[in-house]
Structure 1
Amino acid sequence: MTVRRASGTESADHRSLHERIAADLRDEIMSGDLAPGAKVPSTARLKERFDASSATIQKALQLLKDEGLVVGRAGAAVTVREHRQRTMRPAAYTAPVRAGERFRWLAEAEKHGGTARSRLLDVAEAVPPADVRALLGLADGETALLRRQILTIDGEPVEVVASYYPLDIAGGTAMAERRAIRGGTPTLLAELGFPPRVSVDRVSARIPTQEQAAALELPGNLPVLRTLRVVHTDGDRPVEATVMVKAGHLYELQYEFTPDTPPN
């Protein structure tokens, strides 16, 4: 199997055949051409389509089973697993909540079905990654308050979240305590006089680190979606920078934009 460059020259896809077949089927599942509950084409049809052996087709299907995208057993029909792909709307859970309301991420996740939970992994002073330091305006080696958690749906890990806060804002507050914050940190920041005004996301696809792969229980070498978010309060001051990592084959992000009105 080859792919053609814009110049007309051909470049070989160096992945093994079963990985390439899995990639094509994965794309059809993610795009909805193979909808939840639909039967995957039979081994005979896939053999003809991809000019591959039965063993190669079975290896490709096993990859998709390991990823949780399809279910089935040898000799039986393989079907696309229900409710595996989730569309997350980041803008829906960045604002503070009213008294008594749950953290918006949990409420939004449960709109798709399932039970969402947040588990706090760590609270400590730490030196953030370089891109986070740059967003918070920290010097090399300067520390911030780190709150790291893992988010789950029906007990399955879906996102690892590492949030960093300037110490002059977070130090000595509930954020520095190893406990959950009702309503989430956006609500607490607003109560402290630092309401979130503007959030900026940078999203990239990456191969997961060892720690991320283990935390998210990822099969194989699948990419993750990494979102780097900075939250600004009044005066354009950065008050939070967060790195969020989720499985790239199970989630997509939806952003909504309103076109600017052209100047008169």
Structure 2
Amino acid sequence: MAVTGRARALYQRIADDLRAQITDGSLQPGDRLPTEAEIAARWETTRSTAVQGLKLLVNEGLIVSERPRGYFVRSRQPMVYRPQAEFHKRPLSPEMDQFITQMAEEGREASQHIEVQVEAPPRKIRERLQLGDDELVVVRKRVRYIDGVPYNSNDSYFPLALVQGSAIMHPADIARGANAVMSELGHEQVRALDEFHIRM
């Protein structure tokens, strides 16, 4: 015997319909969606219900609101970045690290904001870096942008005792890379371990 769940709310069905049109290509990147009033009229509901449905898609990153022009299907330009290229011999510019250089070569505008803090490490970081209970770390907190849109954030932890007084302590791009700085300090990277924890 089939068991049916509760009917989805109207604003969810509005979002489902628009999402399906985006998925099947009926609505292309950059296309303007119907107005709030047009959606409300089509579904015989209120504008506030139409807005609820549109907000779902905004939160999912499928559409963007460009008031007062309306809602548009979000244009996505894939980005491929190969961090291992940092280890290749290459001309260096003091203004551009590997990430910014690669994006510029692809015609994209890339930038990043960096903060540096000295702090007591969380337990997991202390264990990974094999630090004593009283040892501090330097954290480089970086947010990267492509074409003005934030796409990535990452925090890098270094034992304070190893990097004190080095370029890693400064909140600026390191054109030659933090790995090169560590190598200059006598701590060359010999391996890397990537762990991925997936969540919605």
Q: What TM-score results when the alignment is normalised by the length of structure 1?
A: 0.53
CA RMSD in angstroms, aligned pairs only:
4.3
Q: Structure 2 CA distance, aligned partners of 1:32 and 1:107?
A: 35
Superposed CA deviations along residues 61-99 of structure 1, whole A, max 9, x for unmatched, are 24545758335668x88531323x54454xx02433534
Q: Secondary structure at the match of 1:124?
A: strand
**Match for residue 164 of structure 1 among 134, 157, 163:** 157
Which of 103, 110, 113 lines up with 2:97 in the alignment?
103
Counterpart check, 1:176 vs 2:176: no
Tell me the CA shift for residue 167 of structure 1: 2.6
- Decide whether aligned partners of structure 1 residues 45 and 140 sit closer, same or farther in structure 2, where only a CA change above 3 A counts: farther
TM-score (norm 2): 0.65
More helix by share: 2
Return the letter of the residue paired with 1:96: F
How far is 1:60 from its partner? 1.8
Cα distance in 1, alignment partners of residues 87 and 124 from structure 2: 25
Alignment partners' CA distance in 1, 2:187 and 2:100: 23
- How far apart are 1:28 and its partner, in Å? 7.2
Q: 1:142 to 1:81 in 2, by over 3 A?
A: same
Q: Name the larger-Rg structure.
A: 2
Q: Secondary structure at the match of 1:164?
A: strand
Return the offset for 1:152: 2.3
> Which of 68, 83, 91 is matched with 1:93 structurally?
83
**C-alpha separation in 1, matches of 2:32 and 2:153:** 32
Matched positions, count: 192
Q: Say which of 115, 123, 127 aligns to 2:109.
A: 115
SS of structure 2 residue aligned to 1:117? strand
> Which string of whole-angstrom CA distances, capped at 9 and with x for unpartnered residues, describes residues 129-187 of structure 1?
33333322234553211122322233343333321112332123221234432233123
SS in 2 for 1:202: coil
Identify the match of residue 53 of structure 1 among 40, 45, 50.
Answer: 45
Note the C-alpha offset of 1:192: 3.3
Residues 73/147 of structure 1: CA separation in 2 closer, same or farther (3 Å cut)? closer
Residues 43 and 180 of structure 1: is their aligned pair in 2 closer, same or farther, counting only changes over 3 Å? closer
In terms of fraction of residues, the more strand-rich structure is 1
Q: Give distance in 1, aligned partners of 2:104 and 2:63.
A: 20
Matched, 1:188 2:178: no
CA contact (8 A) 1:38 1:80 kept: yes
Offset at residue 32 of structure 1 (A): 7.6
Which stretches in structure 2 are left out of the alignment for 5+ residues?
none
